[in-house]
Amino acid sequence: MRAVVQRVDYSSVKVDGGEIVGEINRGGLLVLLGIGEEDSPDDLEYMVDKILGLRIFEDDLGKMNLSLKDIDGEILVVSQFTLYGDVRRGKRPSFTNSAKPELGEKYYEEFIAKCREEGIKTETGVFGAHMNVEIANNGPVTILIDSKKNILGGILLKIITVPAGIYAANCYIVYSENTKKGIVIDPGGDVDDIMKKIEELDLDIEYIVLTHGHGDHIGEY
């Protein structure tokens, strides 16, 4: 999930140049929100928490130290699938990594609902429509957020432990629930138990990592 977040004094959105369908005018955030084909509820929760908690509003000392909640600000959310435009090959953007409309609209609406659940006045555009967005960017301040580029390097990781071998040494399976890709660390013995767990989780193991060469950390496969 990707977002362009702008600190604004005012912002509004019209559909096809007609009447305004969403508007904020007492200060807050304009969020251009793009949904990716591999996004999950984890990405949604990450984005809601990150955006509503962004400390990009100035305190009494003129420092960026306050969040949207702190200033009782408003938010305007506009769908923006073009955030997934890929121009690495050629000059015409490809949008194959953007979510299909059904999934995109689902997460877009859920993002809006979660903002409202937090007590934020939330205005919106119209999903999938041609829109004209007016922005009075304060600063200017613009932040780019990608849920796949979080603190764990772009993957929300899980770790499980499988006691392996006659010494029950810890074998670790580290994986992403989103991509189902993972690594195995120190797979010492009991290959059947380790493989059973990998199959249960339906994982695609890309690497096997040995932290050291002790016999209890090395198995035959």
Residues marked active site are found at 80-82
Extract the tokens encoding 16.
């096809």
Cβ-based neighbours of 205, under 8 Å, separated by 6 or more: 181, 182, 183, 184, 198
Cβ-based neighbours of 40, under 8 Å, separated by 6 or more: 177, 178
Cβ–Cβ under 8 Å, residues 29 and 8? yes
The separation between CA 192 and the C-alpha centre of its own chain, rounded to angstroms, equals 35
Cβ–Cβ under 8 Å, residues 55 and 66? yes
Instruction: Report the alpha-carbon distance of residue 86 to residue 95 in Å, rounded.
Output: 6
